[in-house]
Amino acid sequence: MHWELSDEQELFTSSLREWLHERAGSSAVRNWLDTGDPAGFERLFVGEGWAGVGFDEDLGGQGGGLLELALTARELGRSAAPSAGWLQSAIVVPALVDEPKLIRAAAESGEVTALAVRADRIPAAVPSVKNSADRLSGWIPCVLGAARAQRLLVPVHHVDATSLWLVDSAAGGVGVNPRPLLDRSRDVADISLDDVPARRLDIDATSAHLNGCCSSRSTTASSANSSANRSARSRQSNTLPHRCWSPWSRRCPSSATPRNRLKKVWLNARPMQP
């Protein structure tokens, strides 16, 4: 079967690529990475509406779905832009179906809820985290975007099921220890939980497609890795499209805000470690 992107998806891709070329060129990206502060890029990405692509409009997003998320991840990886926060937002959406405020916060203000699973291998529930009277204890290494996450979504494995628990990153007993990566466009940290209060979400991790969200969506998060590695070796500029796809309107009135197209990417999000 022949599979290809629609005209609008192609327009979205080329527009986002051009926007990234203008706002996240080599010198800007290098500055963000050298200072270790991706907030400048994240403010631009959220403020100009790109962070909402792939999120339901009822939740403050720009519409679209998994394909749009995959295309966005690919273009972010191509430009080596710091995007760990956005990647986490894309990953946790299926698990937050009953938490619309959290999804809206991610789409509208860039707040991060980080799925607390390892980012350097195929994710799974964390057997090292234990629950006792709604308090969690344990250790989770190499969690994507954890250092800047406002909340952690922690999978806890039971005998025959996996539950999801929401933890405030500022709560007492939460330890966050950043770890350096060769790919500086990603940031990860080791998380320790010492008798931390948590709230169980009223959803089973299996029905929330935890495995799919950790492999397919987190693969969405991961195609960016291979693109970023290629981009680190060779940066290419792109010609300006005559039309562009704007997050704020389906038609862009000028060549102001670009947007990118959509191709399904199967990611294996494994940050490279030195």
Confidence check: pLDDT of 260 > 80: no
Q: Which residues contact 267 (CB under 8 A, 6 or more apart)?
A: 73, 218, 219, 220, 221, 222, 223, 224, 225, 226
> Are 142 and 188 spatial neighbours (Cβ–Cβ below 8 Å)?
yes
Phi/psi at 2 (5° precision): -85, 130
Tell me the C-alpha distance between 97 and 103, whole Å.
8
Question: What are the chain's domains?
Answer: 114-204 (2.40.110.10)
Each residue of 209-234: pLDDT tens digit? 554 454 444 444 444 444 444 443 43
| Least confident among 2-6, 147-151, 178-182, 224-228 | 224-228
pLDDT number for residue 173 = 95
Q: What is the pTM of this model?
A: 0.70
Collect all residues with Cβ–Cβ distance below 8 Å to 234 and sequence separation of at least 6.
none
- And the tokens for 122? 């195929």
Q: How many degrees, rounded to 5, is the angle at CA 217 between CA 203 and CA 256?
A: 120
Rounded alpha-carbon distances, angstroms, from residue 111 to 19, 51, 106, 173: 22, 11, 5, 21
* Polymer length of the chain: 274
